[in-house]
Amino acid sequence: MQIVGRNKEIAELEHITSSGVAEFAVVYGRRRVGKTFLVNEFYENDFTFKVTGLAKKDKKLQLKNFADALTQYGNAAYPVPSTWVEAFSSLRFLLENKKSEGRQVVFIDELPWMDTPRSNLLPALEHFWNDWGCTQSNLLLIVCGSATSWITKKLIRNKGGLHNRLTRKIYVRPFNLYETKEYFKYRKLDISDKDILECYMIMGGIPYYLSMLERGKSLAQNIDEMFFRRKGKLDGEFENLYASLFDNSEQYIKVVTALSKKNKGLSREEIIKATALSDGGALSEVLSDLDNCDLIRRYQGFGKDERGALYQLTDFYTFFYFKFIKKYGTSEKPFWAYQINTPVHNAWSGYAFEQLCLYHYNQIEKSLGINGILTKAAAWTAKPDDSQTPPLKGAQIDLIISRSDHIVNVCEMKFTDEEFSMTARYREEINNKILRFRRDCKIRYPIHPVLVTTYGLKHNEHSDIFQNVVVQKDLFAEN
């Protein structure tokens, strides 16, 4: 196998392969995350049967494609079925007549593409599994697809014949920093940890994007080639990403467009106002789908109830697209290298680094030595309060770790090119933020400020405000 990382996913595949009972597994995740590669590599393309759905093709062509795959794996010509019931009946015939002592692994890739309008694909799949497949102890059926919303609604939350029929759900997430660095080592790319951080802040841990970085070029050169060169490697990727994940992707794009303009996130009411979308079940479905795809997150502020929930854009590529690609477009001239340390770059990198830290929450806990303690992560914001004397400024804490050992960690995250130097002004800002947080939320426990940064903290007369410092090498720790 040529698989980097994916230890959890590999363990799950090993379990269902050796379980000795009929298994119906779904492998899902966003576009470009490496689902098909994982399954193909794990089984070394040694399948009893495999078929891949056709993008944007009608039922007739989907059935013809299925018949061609049956012929390929059956070593005999199979007629083109007229219905999906016939197609799965032919698959059953193929499997029953295959002489196999071990597992019969059936892999149906891009299943959502096969579910064309009025195709009746799902009832046929239900019948295939419930009437026969679930009784075959040597059968392992794996289905896969990038349309995460389809997978979630039609399979995972199925209320019909497939309700609770899935035996394993394998969600393939983007690489974390540890896996990203291991992947670059595998590719023999010589890249510093700081550049890996910035690379991650641009495209996240999406293996397909990472695979496009070329050896012998700087990160800035690679970013220009991928995103800012006219007719570049990822030209049109934004539209393709959302169209592949969601039907009626225009509504989803409206929501992420609105969220891209407010770093701390928007409430449901603010989303409705910004997008002109109607309140109701359709909007709830859009928000749920985006959350399930790890493109946004829904979170409650510290001490807030459900009514105070906010939705925040968390997909690195989408945020980068709105801040730079859509705004500045493409050209034949270098672009990214000239953005370093500009105000717009610093504003973007500050927010993107905060999101990177939130995604690596487990590594931060490990660095603090509290990964064995029950914790709860939250954020907190407070609006300006002019009723007080003197008036109170607004305040925001992006990561609060509330611990069962009665300590509260308040994390400040700074992306810098050298050791972070604390100033008297910033120390006063943190003190005032903590005082207001303690007062507004009635915190009785000790509050320990934590700095999460790249190269550490420069010691001076103001630096002792931080109880702990987490540096970039800590973020690269294995889960």
Contact 364, 357 (CB under 8 A): yes
* Confidence (pLDDT) at 74: 92
Note the CATH number of domain 239-320. 1.10.10.10
Mean pLDDT for the stretch of residues 124-135: 96
b/e sequence 112-123, b meaning 16+ C-beta within 10 Å = bbbbbeebebbe
DSSP state of 464: G
In angstroms, the CA 422 to CA 445 distance is 25
In this prediction, residue 459 carries a pLDDT of 95
What amino acid is encoded at 317 in this protein?
Answer: Y
pLDDT above 80: residue 53: yes
Question: In this predicted structure, what is the pLDDT of residue 31?
Answer: 86
Per-residue pLDDT averaged across 70-81, rounded? 93
* CA 201 – CA 272 distance, rounded (Å): 28
| Block residue for tokens 């607004």 | 394
pLDDT at 79 over 90: yes
- Mean of pLDDT values over 232-236: 89
Alpha carbon distance 411, 358 (integer Å): 10
CATH of domain 370-475: 3.40.1350
pLDDT band at 381 (very low <50, low <70, confident <90, very high): confident
Q: What H or E segment, with its residue span, contains residue 187? A: helix 177-187
- Cα(73)–Cα(51) distance, integer angstroms: 10
Kindly report each contact of residues 191-199 with a partner whose C-beta sits within 8 Å and lies 24 or more positions away, as own/partner.
Answer: 191/219, 193/472, 193/473, 193/476, 194/417, 194/454, 194/472, 195/219, 196/476, 197/353, 197/356, 197/415, 197/454, 197/472, 197/475, 198/349, 199/223
The domain spans of the chain are 7-171, 177-235+330-351, 239-320, 370-475
Select from 38, 265, 245 the least CA-distant residue to 147. 245
Q: Is 171 helix (H, G, I), strand (E, B) or coil?
A: strand
Q: What is the pLDDT of residue 242?
A: 92
- Between CA 240 and CA 259 the distance in angstroms is 19
Q: What span, in angstroms and rounded, lies between the C-alpha atoms of 255 and 37?
A: 31
Q: What is the mean pLDDT of residues 247-273?
A: 93
Mean pLDDT value of segment 284-305 = 87
How remote is the C-alpha of 95 from its chain's centroid?
Answer: 36
| pLDDT, mean of residues 183-197 | 95
| DSSP code of residue 428 | H
Cα(267)–Cα(283) distance, rounded to whole angstroms? Answer: 12
Q: How confident is the model at residue 206 (pLDDT cuts 50, 70, 90)?
A: very high
The CATH number of 7-171 is 3.40.50.300
- The two tokens of residue 472 are 């970039």
pLDDT at res. 160: 85
> Which residue(s) pair with 409 in the sheet?
401, 448
Say if residue 437's pLDDT is above 90.
yes
Planar angle of CA 34, 39, 44, nearest 5 degrees: 120
pLDDT in tens, 2-12: 889 899 999 99
Report the pLDDT averaged over residues 449-467: 96
For residue 245, give Cα distances in angstroms to 3, 173, 242, 373: 24, 15, 5, 37
Q: What is the pLDDT of residue 84?
A: 98
pLDDT score of 1: 60
